[in-house]
């Protein structure tokens, strides 16, 4: 006898599954579960906008309220992907405008969003609430004006790290006086000035505002006024933190800060005048997240500020913190979970600050909950890496960048294979890893052997031969994203692991040793892989002999077939017809 729950019960049970992967798994159990999931799915995550067509998504999940889509490959952040490559969100918006009148949330990352898209969003979804544009581009403040004008129920507008064509700050004034539902606003990436009085009125009439990230143009002497209108703030990003030192401004600011009883996250701090830092001391004891990565504060002011935050869980900071500051951090912030140290002068070969591997070792010793690290430095040793690995087997994300490529262990002059080997061996839950320094095939062997939970690996200037790549592709069972630049990896490794590529979201290889022939083979053989070669020379793909090396290769699994919006310098290796004329 078939034993089954009524649909409504199953649907109710499924509603407790918050993870995308769990819902995907559920949909594979049987046809009826697939259908129930299909009709009850409210949230969809598209990791690669070209993996599936908008039409397919909209047809399968008719009742979606929230969508998250990612576009360009990660290395686009570092200018490796030329302009016009793709990641256009318009087809998605157009499809959803037709099928999801009740859509509430759109979260995009590395996508091209035009003003037209923003207008369409603002007019198509009556209950639109959340717009997060992370590292997006292609729109101007005119588009923002449309959002402000038309989205009556908007809760969240977050433009983090997007590139906006900043025509003026007037768009902010497009929020009508009747609009009071703002909860979160992040305009930190905008250059132009917004009207502070308009901002004050907006902040003043939105009682639920909990997150306010201002842009650099907001002057320090207007900050207090804003803070007084929003004492309930949980997250604050200041504007510029510089002004002539005036006691009245300082005391006003101090007073305003002390009113922020709920504040947990602080950021901004561009152009810091250290004398104004004490104004923020009153909130430090409650701060769990601190982003000083644009702040030009140095020691001792920097260390003093950080040490006042005993409940700190997340710290982003420049290398001005130095080893001494990190030692102090290790002593005072026992709850620290995530640390990112950015370089203040990345284009200078020599160290301008006293930040070495020792800083990271200190933190790994002193902070038992530390599990996520991004660390830019100029020197490293295997001994330090081994120490770190032994101290903190709970790492889930470990990203190291040694400014000078191919830097060996500076004491022994050996490659850093053993050090990173220790990381993958001890940190069994490691999900993300970025390698650095001088590395041979050996490190990849170790990674393939031990890094079974690794999902994303970033490699640059490493390895000796195809064997390196082969170790990774054949050994890392959980690998989803692999991005490689300037490594001697080529055809053999790629063609020996073609099935693996279908289990991954994407593979990026630039300035490696992959040939056109291999790409053609891969493209023709694997129907569910899109094999795209980026070649900016202006030639036609047919002119390239098989043994010619490709500049950049991007391979990703897709059920949508080769994309139709490629610029003329992106060639699909599945389709090589001579009659395709590129203008």
Binding pattern for the stretch 115-154 against another protein, x by CB under 8 A and - elsewhere: --------------------x-------------------
> Rule CB under 8 A: is residue 405 a binding residue for another protein?
yes
Q: What is the DSSP letter of 279?
A: G
Q: Which residues pair with 240 in a beta bridge?
A: 270
Q: Does 404 bind another protein (CB under 8 A)?
A: yes
In the complex, least distance from residue 57 CB atom to another protein, rounded to whole angstroms? 26
Compute how many other C-beta atoms are within 10 angstroms of the C-beta atom of residue 16. Answer: 7
Instruction: Verify cis geometry, omega within 30 degrees of 0, for the bond prior to 300.
Output: yes
Report the distance separating Cα 418 and Cα 406, nearest Å. Answer: 15
Q: Could you say whether residue 578 binds another protein (CB under 8 A)?
A: no
The number of beta carbons lying within 10 Å of the beta carbon of residue 84 is 14
Contacts with another protein by CB under 8 A: the residue count is 73
Based on CB atoms, which residue is closest to another protein, 141 or 434?
A: 434
Single residue of 68, 271, 301, 576 touching another protein by CB under 8 A? 271
Choose the stretch contacting another protein; rule: CB under 8 A; options: 60-68, 80-88, 141-149, 246-254. Answer: 80-88
160: how many CB neighbours lie within 10 A of its CB?
Answer: 16
Confirm or reject binding of residue 350 to another protein (CB under 8 A). yes
Question: Is 564 among the residues that bind another protein (CB under 8 A)?
Answer: no
**Binds another protein by CB under 8 A, chosen from 13, 348, 559, 580:** 348
189 near another protein, rule: CB under 8 A: yes
Q: Which is nearer to another protein, 66 or 293 (CB)?
A: 293
Q: Which helix (H) or strand (E) holds 9?
A: helix 7-14
Task: Please pick, from the candidates 1, 28, 349, 564, the single residue that binds another protein as defined by CB under 8 A.
Answer: 349
Distance CA 374, CA 574 (A): 37
CB 71 within 8 A of CB 110: yes
Q: How far is the CB of 508 from another protein (least distance, A)?
A: 11
Draw the binding track, 33-72, toward another protein (x: CB under 8 A; -: no contact). Answer: ----------------------------------------
**Shortest reach from residue 539's CB to another protein, in Å:** 6
SS3 254: helix
According to the binding rule CB under 8 A, does residue 269 interact with another protein? no
Q: Are strands 506-510 and 184-186 parallel, antiparallel or unpaired?
A: unpaired
For another protein, give the closer residue by CB, 92 or 320.
320
Of 426 and 544, nearer to another protein (C-beta) is: 544
Among 54, 73, 268, 490, binds another protein (CB under 8 A): 490
Residue 565: how many other CB atoms lie within 10 Å: 14
Q: Which of 80, 329, 416, 454 binds another protein (CB under 8 A)?
A: 80
Local structure of 88: helix, strand or coil: strand
Q: Minimum distance from CB of 441 to another protein (Å)?
A: 9
Sole window of 75-83, 424-432, 446-454, 555-563 interacting with another protein (rule: CB under 8 A): 75-83
User: What SS3 class is residue 493?
Assistant: helix
Question: Which one, 210 or 340, has the nearer CB to another protein?
Answer: 340
Ranges of beta strands (E only) in 230-281 are 235-237, 265-267
Dihedral of the CA atoms 382, 384, 389, 390 (nearest 10)? 110
- For position 18 contacting another protein by CB under 8 A, the verdict is no
* Bridge partners of residue 267, in order along the sequence: 237
Non-local CB neighbours of 338 within 8 Å, separated by 6+ positions = 313, 314, 315, 370, 371, 372, 373, 397
Which stretch in 55-63, 169-177, 332-340, 347-355 sits in contact with another protein by CB under 8 A? Answer: 347-355
Contact between 100 and another protein (CB under 8 A)?
A: no
Q: What is the DSSP string of 22-71?
A: HHHHHHTS-HHHHHHHHHH--EEEESSTTSS-HHHHHHH-TT--EEEEE-
What token pair was written down for 359?
Answer: 């800083």
Decide if residue 370 touches another protein (CB under 8 A). Answer: no
Please give the residues from 374 up to 393 whose contact with another protein meets the rule CB under 8 A. Answer: 376, 378
Name the residue among 321, 219, 340 with its Cα closest to residue 273. Answer: 219
Question: Which ranges in 344-416 belong to alpha helices (H)?
Answer: 357-366, 382-391
- Residue 92: which H helix or E strand, with range? helix 90-99
Nearest approach, Cβ of residue 110 and another protein (Å)? 11
Say how far apart CA 226 and CA 268 lie, in whole Å.
15
| Smallest distance, another protein to C-beta of residue 506, A | 17
Cβ closest to another protein, residue 76 vs residue 224: 76
Least distance between another protein and beta carbon 368 (Å)? 29
Show the site string, 498-537: x = touches another protein by CB under 8 A, - = not: ------------xxxx-x--------------------xx
């Amino acid at each position: 006898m078939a034993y089954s729950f009524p649909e409504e019960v199953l649907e109710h049970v499924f509603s407790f599954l918050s993870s995308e992967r769990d819902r995907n798994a559920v949909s594979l159990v049987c046809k009826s579960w697939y259908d129930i999931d299909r009709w009850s799915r409210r949230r969809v995550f598209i990791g690669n906008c070209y993996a599936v067509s908008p039409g397919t998504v909209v047809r399968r999940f008719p009742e979606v309220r929230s969508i998250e889509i990612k576009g360009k490959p990660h290395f686009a952040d570092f200018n490796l992907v030329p302009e016009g490559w793709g990641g256009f969100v318009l087809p998605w918006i157009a499809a959803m405008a037709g099928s999801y009148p009740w859509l509430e949330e759109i979260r995009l990352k590395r996508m091209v969003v035009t003003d037209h898209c923003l207008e369409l969003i603002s007019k198509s979804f009556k209950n639109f609430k959340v717009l997060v544009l992370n590292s997006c581009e292609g729109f101007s403040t005119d588009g923002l004006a449309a959002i402000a004008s038309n989205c009556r129920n908007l809760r969240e507008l977050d433009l983090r790290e997007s590139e906006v064509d900043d025509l003026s700050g007037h768009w902010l004034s497009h929020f009508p006086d009747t609009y009071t539902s703002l909860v979160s606003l992040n305009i930190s990436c905008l250059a132009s000035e917004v009207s502070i009085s308009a901002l004050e009125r907006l902040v003043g009439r939105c009682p639920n505002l909990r997150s306010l990230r201002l842009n650099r143009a907001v002057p320090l002497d207007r900050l207090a006024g804003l803070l007084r209108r929003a004492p309930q703030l949980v997250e604050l990003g200041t504007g510029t933190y510089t002004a002539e030192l005036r006691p009245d401004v300082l005391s006003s600011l101090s007073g305003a800060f002390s009113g922020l009883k709920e504040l947990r996250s602080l950021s901004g701090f561009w152009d810091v005048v250290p004398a104004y830092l004490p104004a923020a001391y009153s909130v430090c004891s409650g701060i769990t997240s601190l982003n000083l990565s644009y702040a030009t504060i140095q020691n001792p002011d920097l260390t003093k500020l950080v040490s006042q935050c005993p409940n700190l869980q997340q710290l982003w900071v420049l290398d001005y913190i130095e080893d001494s500051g990190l030692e102090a951090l290790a002593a005072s912030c026992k709850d620290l979970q995530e640390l990112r140290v950015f370089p203040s002068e990345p284009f200078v070969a020599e160290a301008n600050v006293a930040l070495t591997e020792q800083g990271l070792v200190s933190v790994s010793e002193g902070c038992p909950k530390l599990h996520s690290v991004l660390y830019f430095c100029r020197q490293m040793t295997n001994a330090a890496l081994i120490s770190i690995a032994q101290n903190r087997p709970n790492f889930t994300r470990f990203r190291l960048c040694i400014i000078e490529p191919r830097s060996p262990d500076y004491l022994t002059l050996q490659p850093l294979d053993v050090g990173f080997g220790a990381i993958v061996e001890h940190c069994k839950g490691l999900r993300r890893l970025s390698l650095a320094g001088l590395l041979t095939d050996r490190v990849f062997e170790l990674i393939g052997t031990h890094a079974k939970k690794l999902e994303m690996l970033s490699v640059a200037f490493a390895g000796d031969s195809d064997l390196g790549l082969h170790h990774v592709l054949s050994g890392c069972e959980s690998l989803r994203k692999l991005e490689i630049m300037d490594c001697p990896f080529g055809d053999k490794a790629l063609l020996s692991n073609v099935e693996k590529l279908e289990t991954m979201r994407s593979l990026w290889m630039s300035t490696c040793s992959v040939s056109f022939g291999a790409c053609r083979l891969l493209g023709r053989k694997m129907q569910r892989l899109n094999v795209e070669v980026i070649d900016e020379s202006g030639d036609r793909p047919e002119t390239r002999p098989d043994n010619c090396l490709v500049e950049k290769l991007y391979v990703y699994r897709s059920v949508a077939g080769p994309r139709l919006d490629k610029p003329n310098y992106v060639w699909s290796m599945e389709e090589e017809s001579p009659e395709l004329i590129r203008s």
